[in-house]
Structure 1
């Protein structure tokens, strides 16, 4: 999955109540994934919105079934 040994954050941009965290990793031994986590939090510090964007399309196509399996199991 994306949280494997190759996962690492490579950039970070912060605002008062949000952050964009750029990451990269490799899945299936050969597919390079580049993406961002976009996080917004409320006044209490709890996350209120979390969005993940992934590229290239080959990586997205490989991640979708992995995420579906993780959410079902």
Structure 2
């Protein structure tokens, strides 16, 4: 990854811009259109990845509801222009956390992989509990 002026592919740039607009507006209803059909989500609290656009959309839409005071701080772009790392901070209940979203885009700009890493452990635990309460039996 590089913080230099490595550009995203134009298709990935358009998808990322749409993602940021959704996060700013807190309206993720357009998210399914940004996902490849076989998209994969890797969670900081689950042992196995979630596969398929419907599952990924549900998880990301639920996370948007769980987080408060969510903000992105930095964007790092891969040398091939098909991946980004987005540094963020947020609150879950009374716990503050920091994390990164690692997003890989396909040639068409659709999100093919979305992986989240979070710290500290208390934030991960709060996130897992909040997401589990909303998603148990749904994914």
TM-score where L is the length of structure 2 = 0.47
| Greater strand proportion | 1
Greater than 6 Å deviation, 4+ residue runs = none
TM-score where L is the length of structure 1 = 0.86
The structure, 1 or 2, with the larger RCO (C-alpha pairs under 8 Å, 6+ apart) is 2
Q: For 2:88 and 2:124, locate their aligned partners in 1 and report how far apart those are by CA, in whole Å.
A: 14
| Greater helix proportion | 2
Alignment of 1:29-68 (within 5 A): 29=94, 31-68=95-132
Q: For 2:92 and 2:127, locate their aligned partners in 1 and report how far apart those are by CA, in whole Å.
A: 8
The gaps in structure 1 that reach 5 residues or longer are none
The gaps in structure 2 that reach 5 residues or longer are 1-65
Larger Rg: 2
